Amino acid sequence: MHDRRAPGPARAERIHARYARALEAFAAELPDGWKTRVHRDDPVSWRVFQHAGESPEQGWKLHVSASAADALDLLEIVLPELVAGSTAFKLPGDLRSIISINAGLAGRPQVGKIVTVYPSSDDALPALIDRLDAVWRPHRAPAVTSDLPVGRGGALFIRYGAFVLSEVITDYAGAAHAAVRAPDGSLHPDVRHAGGRQPSWAVPPVPPAARTVTTEPDGPIEVDGATYVPLKVLTADARGYVALGVRPDDRRLVIIRHRLRGVDGDEFGNDVLTRLENEWRLMRRLSGSGIVPEPLAYDPEAGYLILTDAGEGRLECLPAPERLRLLPELAAVVARLHALGVVHRDLKLSNVRIGPDGPCLVDLEVAAPTGTRHPPPWGTDGHVAPEGTYATAAPPYDVYSLGSCVTHAVVGHCPGTLPPGDDAGRQIGLLLRLGQRAAASVVRECHHPDPALRPAAGEVAERLKAALPAILAERAAGPDAYRGALDRRWATAAAASAGTATRLFGTAGCDCGRTHHDLAEHEPESLHAGAAGVIVALATLDTALGTSQFGRDIAAAAGRLAGRPPSARAHGFFTGDSGVAVALAVAGRRLGRDDLVRAARRRYEHAAGSAVADYDLFSGAAGIVWAGCLLDAVLGSSWGRDLAGRQVARIVAAARPVEGVAGWPPDPEQDPCDRVYRGAAHGTAGVAMALASWARSTGDAATAAFAREAFLDIAAHGLTEDGTTILSTAGGSTRVPHHWCHGMAGFLWCLLQACPATGRTEGLKEARQAAVAAFDRVTPLLDNPTMCHGLAGVLEVWRMVGALPGHRDTARRRVALAAECLRLLRRSRDGATVWASDDPSVVIPDLWTGFLGPAVQLALAATGSPHALLSPSWLRACALPG
């Protein structure tokens, strides 16, 4: 029942309404013995259909795949078969959820899982498959990559897993998984594996069909009689992959674009394959122009498009001055595209390559000839013109996107992460607040709400050329261009509001925050993404703001944690029992409850006695050591450092020099590549900080010297050539410099935490000063809001730097800048202030990757605190009776 006529927002709404009415009508006509319920698991709303009678707790599930365009047929053909067989099932409650699933927004392994069927037994499954395979053979059903294909129609897939959440397993990183029980009685995580791998002891009740989907390169590819060999995967997601390859015949480097049937489809039957076909047509039309790669071959059935290699230079990855100098050339290339009668319609810096002849436009999947009335309706947040993706293809649409490219080139971060709403106004306001007036002037013209009043791309090129000296000068000032002061009143109000927002994520009987996870019924525990982090955050808010509004929330969450047993595998500081112990200790002292303190000790004793496989700060032995130091600070005890001694010995014994820096082997189960990290979260810096803190509390001179040498070795051998960041691994790879986890921000954070604790300070003061200077050079103008990978982490480090002699004024300005950017990034959830996570579409009350990170940093900044959130001094203050 495909409908490709006149696609547009009004027709899409009608199709969505038809699906909703048809599903309600089907549910209303169910025979006796059936009941339905609605289950929300963002971004998907599920309608669950259950039949009277017992259902197994685990077994072989059947997944029925469909595209959004096939959804009405699905209701008419498949669902009656399931009801006739008295078989329980669930499916999306609205068409938007089907689109989200097939776009990978619910997770890559979920693509194609539109109807999940729960057979009454494994023996009942073969007959059910035969019946459905005879009637359900849609053309655009996405493959389910985590399952085994069955039948001959390409739309049925099976996977062994849990039917109900009766058992839960927590892994070493603190993530909860539903569990399945093996024949010998042992529990195993119910994990979805790419490629369809199932438990070795689970025998499929029907022979699997041949697998026809390739999610990653597995050998040479033949298209139009020529052979291409993939060399390196450049990007991979639910849609497929893009790889660098070579044509052996002439050794020519090529780009291999592979797309999977049915993925990212809409109501009208368009998906990644139809967009790939569109790209092939437009590439052939533009062949020889020099502004796009040359098309070499195309296989519509297998989903391969082969292009010439446009060069590895990505415009978005170049240093700011180089990005800015290339903007006039980019605008001129867009003008040439328009002169050839084509509109790109997804113009952004990530779709521009820099070759020997200048900028080259790539990814023309949604491009269209000028005047096309119904172009493919896709776009990128922050770059879509107000007229919308359904508008007739016209050059002003690209000009709007050019303005967003200017914003991205100046601030170094995609404007698509800005909150939805007045996109153009937010970008212009951001640039003006950051002192980037010349760039803001150009963006204002490109973002004019009336397409007819936007300049042509050629005019934009000339204006950029004329404004370039001013743009470069203002950008060269970097964070110094911001002259504002911290608005303490706003920071205080926003922090308090975000604290109350945690209640919006609660469950029945829970006052405290809940996070967004696959197991919606299971409250995660960890410090970085669970109840322990919420406890520390709310205690911080009450302490910093001088209130007591979150006492009941803290007590409720701590009570739940205290009533649970220690984890079998999650022992780390950010991910498991040692971090939970710190949160319970803070709550116990703050609330005057000895039971919580006793629960904290039980948790910590369990973690300290473990043989955890990793040695890092985040989930390994170093985190256990650091937790022991924090527990003693909070409780005024000494048992924490005493119990941590075993882990200290393990860490020192396992150290090995790797390219001049002490390193530790990762858990081979989690990192089979054996990468040795150097940053705060998983590497040498975090380990050294924990050891230095323990050495200070115990007076262990040898351990103090070991930690000091590890820091000095990073400073001497573990930095990039320009000194702006650390090498995140011993192999020389780097990550974003201003991120806490693997960048200079984390290295400096560890130095600032450990420097007073190392005993001898020779050399460390110099390393610290150099790290402060480097961090200032890489401080961003914009990023996501979080602690681990964003502005909240930047704000924390600058607060700490403010305590150093000679850095107070600079730190004050940088704190104000980070706070102002968080102000621009704030969102509203039921009237409360929140921020997005690393993913702009997800809002979660987590401490390290959710909105509680920005909240606590704003509260601490408003009080002028120089203490790290997770430091002995601050947690001791939080533990004072409220």
* Positions at the binding site for Zn(2+): 741, 788-789
* HSE-up (13 A, CA, CB side) for residue 559: 12
Return the CA Rg of the chain. 28
Q: Where are the alpha helices (DSSP H) in 636-762?
A: 639-654, 684-698, 701-717, 744-754
Tell me the C-alpha to C-alpha distance, in Å, between residue 27 and each of 48, 115, 353, 663, 783: 10, 15, 52, 60, 46
Integer Cα distance of 647 and 393 in angstroms = 63
**Residue 289 is which amino acid?**
S
The DSSP-derived string for 782-813 is ---S-TTTSHHHHHHHHHHHTTSTT-HHHHHH
| Nearest alpha-carbon partner for 618 in 742, 514, 733, 519 | 742
Q: Cite the annotated binding site by residue number.
A: 741, 788-789
The torsion of the CA quartet 245, 247, 253, 258, rounded to 10 degrees, works out to -40
Integer Cα distance of 75 and 30 in angstroms = 13
| Nearest alpha-carbon partner for 111 in 86, 142, 140 | 142
3-state SS class at 873:
helix
Q: Which residues contact 715 (CB under 8 A, 6 or more apart)?
A: 763, 767, 770, 771
Q: What is the 3 state secondary structure string of 729-760?
A: ECCCCCCCCCCCCCCHHHHHHHHHHHHHHCCC
The DSSP-derived string for 213-231 is --SS--S-EEETTEEEEEE
Bond before 328 cis per omega within 30 degrees: no
DSSP state of 594: H
Q: Which residues contact 526 (CB under 8 A, 6 or more apart)?
A: 174, 532, 533, 570, 574, 575, 576, 579, 580
Integer Cα distance of 564 and 580 in angstroms = 11
Q: Which helix (H) or strand (E) holds 178?
A: strand 176-181
The torsion of the CA quartet 499, 505, 506, 507, rounded to 10 degrees, works out to 180
* DSSP strands (E only) in 44-83: 44-51, 58-64
Give counts: helices (H), strands (E), the chain.
26, 25
Tell me the C-alpha to C-alpha distance, in Å, between residue 502 and each of 518, 552, 584: 18, 13, 18
Tell me the C-alpha to C-alpha distance, in Å, between residue 63 and each of 35, 106, 406: 21, 15, 45
**758 and 707 in contact (C-beta within 8 Å)?**
yes
**823 and 785 in contact (C-beta within 8 Å)?**
no
Integer Cα distance of 118 and 122 in angstroms = 9
Q: Which two tokens stand for residue 587?
A: 């709550």
Burial class for 767, CB neighbours closer than 10 Å (0-12, 13-18, 19+): buried
Integer Cα distance of 401 and 361 in angstroms = 13
Range 230-241 burial, b when 16+ CB lie within 10 A, else e:
beeeeeeebbbb
Integer Cα distance of 822 and 65 in angstroms = 41
**Residue 626 is which amino acid?**
W
865 backbone φψ class: left, alpha, beta (φ>0; ψ -120 to 50): beta
